[in-house]
Amino acid sequence: MQYDSEFQLGTRSLERHVEVTRLIGLLPIVLCATFIASVDGWQSPMVFYIFGTTIGLELILWGLYEVMFTAHPNSRAGERIKLSAPKWFPLIMLIFRYTFFAFTFLVIWNCFVWLGIKPTLWIRITFYMVLIITPVRKLIDKLVSADRKKWADVCIELLKHLHINTLVFFVLGLANAMFLTEKAAVEGVHAGFLLTWLVGVLVILSSSIILLDYFARYEQHKAK
């Protein structure tokens, strides 16, 4: 199994990367605490769930940090954890980092919803897909075995273009929600809406052409 090099045990920068992950985890905590303290009648349970879950994950990460970077663990359990760490520590750190990133975006998303933006089902689906595809790509790239690397490369390429197109569809959904209002029906569609759709369509077409070219070159290489 291949693991993310930045969290590989024995690397000089490992401790720094773990500290950075701990700092990233503070971001959703600070955002949640700020929203809860400053907004009266906060009605989004997800913010409270993220707040509590992130604090719990930070405590676990703090414990792992103390065990991993202490020369002599104070217990047999600590010694066993340190000895078995090469099997699971890089993967756990990768999951922690992307979980903190996802929590941060979810808090910001809930803030926009509370401010009155009503996302459609299409916007919700594309938003959560954008959050999910990124860590899935990373996990496939870092955890796939060497004998299946070719299939992994194909999956990664597909997910990369799916991520791009999903992000474009998300932006187009937001553009529809912002510009296609009752005011637009009376005064006409805003030029920014047309420009957003033009750029979005061009990006989708470009991504599709690049993906088709990749598969064409892949088939030629496979035939050789």
Residue-level pLDDT, tens digit, the chain, 224 residues: 445 555 566 566 777 878 888 899 999 999 888 888 877 656 678 888 999 999 999 998 888 877 777 655 566 766 777 777 767 777 788 888 889 988 998 888 887 777 677 788 888 899 888 888 877 877 776 666 556 667 777 888 888 899 899 999 988 988 887 777 666 555 666 777 889 999 999 999 999 999 888 888 876 655 54
DSSP state of 149: H
Residues 89 and 157 in one domain: no
Note whether 58 and 108 are same-domain residues: yes
Contacts of 189 (CB under 8 A, 6+ apart): 179, 180
Q: Give yes or no: residues 50 and 85 share one domain.
A: yes
Which of 117, 144, 163 is the last residue in one of the domains?
117
pLDDT of residue 15: 76
Domain C-terminal end among 85, 100, 117: 117
Same domain, 23 and 75: yes
Rounded Cα distance between 149 and 162, Å, is 20
User: Domain range for residue 179?
Assistant: 119-224
Longest Cα separation, the chain: 73
Report the domain count for the chain.
2
For residues 149 and 92, state if they share a domain: no
Of 161, 162, 168, nearest to 196 (Cα)?
168
- Type of residue found at 63: G
Say if residue 66 is in the same domain as residue 159: no
Residues 12 and 113 in one domain: yes
- Indicate whether this model's pTM tops 0.85: no
Quick one: 156 and 98 in the same domain? no
CA proximity to 100, closest of 190, 193, 24: 24
- Where is the domain boundary, 70, 94, 117? 117
7 and 110 in a common domain: yes
pLDDT of amino acid 224 = 47
The answer to whether residues 60 and 132 belong to one domain is no
**Distance separating alpha carbons of residues 132 and 110, to the nearest angstrom:** 17
* 85 and 8, same domain (yes or no): yes
Contact (CB, 8 A) for 110 and 31: no
Angle at 4 between CA 102 and CA 157, to 5 degrees: 75
Please indicate, yes or no, whether residues 74 and 110 belong to a single structural domain of this protein. yes
